Structure 1
Amino acid sequence: MEEKVLKFIEEISKLIGSRKVSTDKPTRICYTLTHGPECLLHEDYVEEFLPAVVLRPTSTEDVQEIIKLANKYVIPIIPSGGRTGSYGAEGMRNCAIVDLRNMNKILEFDEKNYRITAEAGILMSELVKFLREKGYMPLDWPASERSATLGARVAINGYNWSENGWGPTEFHVRAIKVVLPNGDVVKLGRGSSRPSKCGIGYNLMSLFFGSKGTLGIITEVTESFIEIPPAKTYGSMVFTNIKDAFEAYLDIKRPRYSRLLWRTTVSTERYLKFIAPYIIGKEWPDDCKAVVDYHIFGETQAVKETEEKIINILKSHNGFERPELADVRAYWDVHQLLEDYMGLSSLSKRVKNQGATMRMIFLDPNIPDSNLIAFYMDMQKLFSRLEDENHYPALAQVIKVLESGTPIPGMEGYNKFWIVLLADWEKWDDECRKEFKKFYREYAELVWSHNGSLSTTHGFIPRELEVEFLKRELGEKEYELMKLIKRTLDPNNIMNPKIFF
């Protein structure tokens, strides 16, 4: 460990208290990983991603002390939340991890103005519980609520379970408090420091959505909430033809229904065959190629009328009911299976029950409605090549397609296309790594050919390809603007310096 790192650890222990500082190797190893796949691409990932120290601040003032001292010694700082994002929170040599989960208090509940303010480290499940007990619910509701933290929702610009009705995280955050890379603390709203919109200043808050800890550390977040709707209903229909299912999904996700239809998905055959034994206790029938589900919330009469319309639309696309397969909530509960592979809190459970050798790889391109069906069909061809030893002789031995593409509504006109691959980590070698980067390049070209973007939420790009692909996705001038913002706010390049640039 470098001398300057040892001095940093000694001084920060005095400034914030030694109980908030961990240097033992077992603790540090826990922060080498996220649930993302970057570790698969490094033979000696533990040494490459092993932080020098883990810091657990309990206040914004602690975070200020950490950042000011990090500037003095030029120590890389990597903020950490629930670690359910697929990219960016891995450690690096001689860095300090700043784990915010001890900053988990609800600071203000402004019931009359529908605002709640909490520290960045609070679990979303705790925020949800607090609001539900008072008859309310957040509009930003992640699928991984048991692991995700409030501040990280801003840092990754998270995907919202009810995005079809309410949009992504950034639509519902009203203000944030951030410790900048120079140690200054700023409170940012939309053109104001208050949790409201103001037309006289820059909307500086939006700069931090998706920044992944590269521009500062978010310590407080103010979000809006609503009353829990009085009525809700779930339903699904089965399809024998995948194209019919996709066309039905596209028909019901249109903006005219979205204020009540908060969520809809298409679950396809490969995924259904995998989860059926876990969820319904039986094999999935061969004649059922897809399931379209819907979740409707609102006033009682409006929910009833909307469901009637949705059912008629699904039937018009040849959907039919199979009551023994219709428990939509059970299909959604499969996300709890996925969470066993996500986040720091699940690490011991994985080691105990499954071992750590099977690794899920999540891809989530953003695909326009107009190209969704064609993209799905082309992806199936790519998956066939991926699992074919003639095309990918090494990779085909260690990777399987678990979920070949579940479209979930994004912002109107676009879709988060959810893909899950399962990799046998223990068997990966240099040839597998080489072939995976080749596969990812082929995947990226396919996404771009359908006018899509590489990632809706998780943001994974193999680090070796990141700069090249960011320039392709953003544009050369736009990428240079990103660099200018980074250099201006963080001239010492201490904030999560391993990503983006």
Structure 2
Amino acid sequence: MTELMHHIKELQGVLGPDKVYTDKVTRIAHRMSHSPEILLHKDRMDDFLPDAVLCAECAEDIVETIKFANKYKVPLIPQGGRIGTQGSQGRRGAIAVSLHRMVKILDFDEENEWVVVEPGIRVDHLGEFLRKKGYCQLEWPTTRSATLGGRVGTDGYDRWNLRWGRSKDSIIAVEMVLPDGDIAVFGEGSNKPIKSSMGFDLKDLFIGSRGTLGIATKIWVKTPKLPPVESWGYRAFPTPEDMVKAQIDISTDPITSAWVWRMTGAPRWVFERTFKIFANATPHEELGAILDFNLFGTEEIIVDVKKRIDKIAKKYGGFISTHLPEEEAFGKAAYTNRDLGINRFAALAGDRPIDGGRGGMWTPIDPCVPNSTALEY
């Protein structure tokens, strides 16, 4: 029995047995995250098994747990959707702090275009709420079962990253429970217009800290109105190098960068495995890489921007293939969670378990690496 188990009944007495769990089934459910790298650990069954799980329902539950943890020197592991690649795994001797019960939409301010939510709400549930009202969900990662609290912890990339940035850009403010149990709100001021800075930008210090500096209990998120028309498209390229050159030009063009909200590129070796695994087919030899994208605007804007994209793509040999479905349909299908997931599983069928890496994605370790070096990479 670990030291924590000698004192856990004290916390259960404060919060109740329906919030603090020590049974093995609950602990196993909060042991692992989405990351396959955890499977490389020899003793993964025990090393990542937390001693207890807190299912918090409000900020006060977290405050009491932090006081308990400080008293007995117990590690806390904040957990969101546990679909990220690192940071939310349990560990022996620790309490996993699950926020999945904190799912309320606390306020929706249409005039100022923001929504206030609890950290356990899933991005797909929030997105459904906002879309029905004609507003855009900016916090939209690859996996829609991610939580807003997890987004605070990771500062992740989003579906609309090209247009709206990452989590630090879309999150206006956060309420945090700090390591001493105090509760504080950190933000950037009003949404429209943005006020001048009046002090240290502490909000961005917490976003991306992976729960090491505090636990988010309330989150303010930007929610711009959706443009009237959404469109999809793609361009195929002879080589991945050609695709990267076109992607850089489109993302830096003053017109296309304003209306293209998302671009995703895939080299041949990624979708080649997808074709083989799921269709037992080989993509046509002309397909060296594929770049798909989303556009938003009016009908007139969409037509003009697609013409400009076509002009840029043709500089690098870009084309619409007769060996793929119609452009709009293929572009729309290319970024569904299912297809992106297939590409990643196809990557796992290669050398990733042996050599590591990020499957079909490239991610520079140095945050100062500019896009212009992507081609050499």
TM-score by structure 2 length? Answer: 0.88
Note closer, same or farther for the CA distance 1:341–1:248 as it changes in structure 2 (3 Å cut). Answer: closer
1:30 positional shift? 2.4
In 2, Cα distance between equivalents of 1:173 and 1:61: 23
Mapped partners of 2:342, 2:10: distance in 1: 37
Given candidates 213, 217, 223, the residue that maps to 2:221 is 223
Q: Is the 8 A contact 1:249 1:264 kept in 2?
A: yes
- Aligned partner of 1:456 in structure 2 is none
Alpha-carbon spacing, 1:197–1:340, altered in 2? closer, same or farther (3 Å)? farther
2:272 matched residue in structure 1 = 273
Provide the residue aligned with 1:423 in structure 2.
none
SS at structure 2 position matched to 1:266 = strand
**Per the alignment, do residues 35 and 44 of structure 1 end up closer, same or farther by CA in structure 2, a change over 3 Å counting?**
same
Counterparts of 1:91-170 in structure 2, within 5 Å, are: 91-145=90-144, 147-170=145-168
Matched, 1:338 2:341: yes
Aligned counterpart, 1:183: 181
Partner of residue 63, structure 2: 64
State the shift of 1:272 in Å: 1.1
Higher RCO (C-alpha under 8 Å, 6+ residues apart) = 1
Task: Give the Cα–Cα distance (whole angstroms) in 2 for the partners of residues 196 and 53 of structure 1.
Answer: 42
Match of 1:371 in 2: 373
CA distance in structure 2 between the aligned counterparts of 1:62 and 1:334, rounded to whole angstroms:
34
Summarize deviations over 1:286-310 as a string: whole Å, max 9, x none: 3311112222111222221111110
State the 1:280 CA deviation: 7.2
Amino acid aligned to 2:201: N
Residue by residue, what CA displacement relative to the aligned partner does 1:87-129 show, whole Å, maximum 9, x if unpaired? 1111111100000010000000111111100000000111101
Percent identical residues = 36
Cα separation, partners in 2 of 1:208 and 1:259, compared to 1, 3 Å: same
Q: Which amino acid aligns with 1:23?
A: T
1:378 maps to which residue?
none
Q: Which ranges in structure 2 are unaligned for 5 or more consecutive residues? A: 346-352
Q: Secondary structure at the match of 2:175?
A: strand
More helix by share: 1
3-state SS of the aligned residue for 2:69? Answer: helix
Q: Counterparts of 2:193 and 2:13 in 1: how far apart (Å)?
A: 35
Using the alignment, how far apart are the partners of 2:243 and 2:340 within structure 1? 25
- Say whether the 8 Å CA contact 2:174–2:220 is kept in structure 1: yes
d(CA) in 2 for partners of 1:202, 1:136: 31
**Residue 235, structure 1, aligned to residue 233, structure 2:** yes
Q: Is the 8 A contact 2:179 2:214 kept in 1?
A: yes
Kept in 2: contact 1:275–1:334 (CA 8 A): no
1:318, CA displacement in angstroms? 1.4
Q: Do the aligned partners of residues 14 and 340 (structure 1) sit closer, same or farther apart at CA in structure 2, a change above 3 Å counting?
A: farther
* TM-superposed deviation, 1:225: 0.7
Matching residue's letter, 1:368: P
Counterpart contact for 1:195–1:222, Cα < 8 Å: no
1:446-485 aligned at under 5 Å gives the runs none
Q: Aligned residue for 2:201?
A: 203
Q: Determine the structure 1 residue equivalent to 2:348.
A: none
Verify the 8 A CA contact 2:284 2:323 in the aligned structure 1.
no
Q: Supply the distance in 2 between the matched residues of 1:14 and 1:131 (Cα, whole angstroms).
A: 39
Q: Which residue is equivalent to 1:467? A: none
- Opposite residue 2 of structure 2, the aligned amino acid is E
Matched with 1:21 is: 20
Q: Determine if contact 1:279/1:331 at 8 Å carries over to the other structure.
A: no
> What is the rounded CA distance, in whole Å, between the counterparts of 1:99 and 1:67 in structure 2?
13
Question: Which of 34-43 and 134-143 deviates more?
Answer: 34-43
Distance 1:341 1:370, change over 3 A: closer
Name the residue aligned to 2:73.
74
Query: For 2:336, what is the secondary structure of its paired residue?
Result: helix
Query: Helix, strand or coil for the counterpart of 1:132?
Result: helix
Distance 2:128 2:280 in 1: 30
Contact 2:227 2:296 in 1 (8 A): yes
| Distance change in 2, residues 1:339/1:185 (3 Å) | farther
Q: Secondary structure at the match of 2:212?
A: coil
Equivalent-residue separation in structure 2 for 1:225 and 1:86 (angstroms): 27
Counterpart of 1:56, as a letter, is C
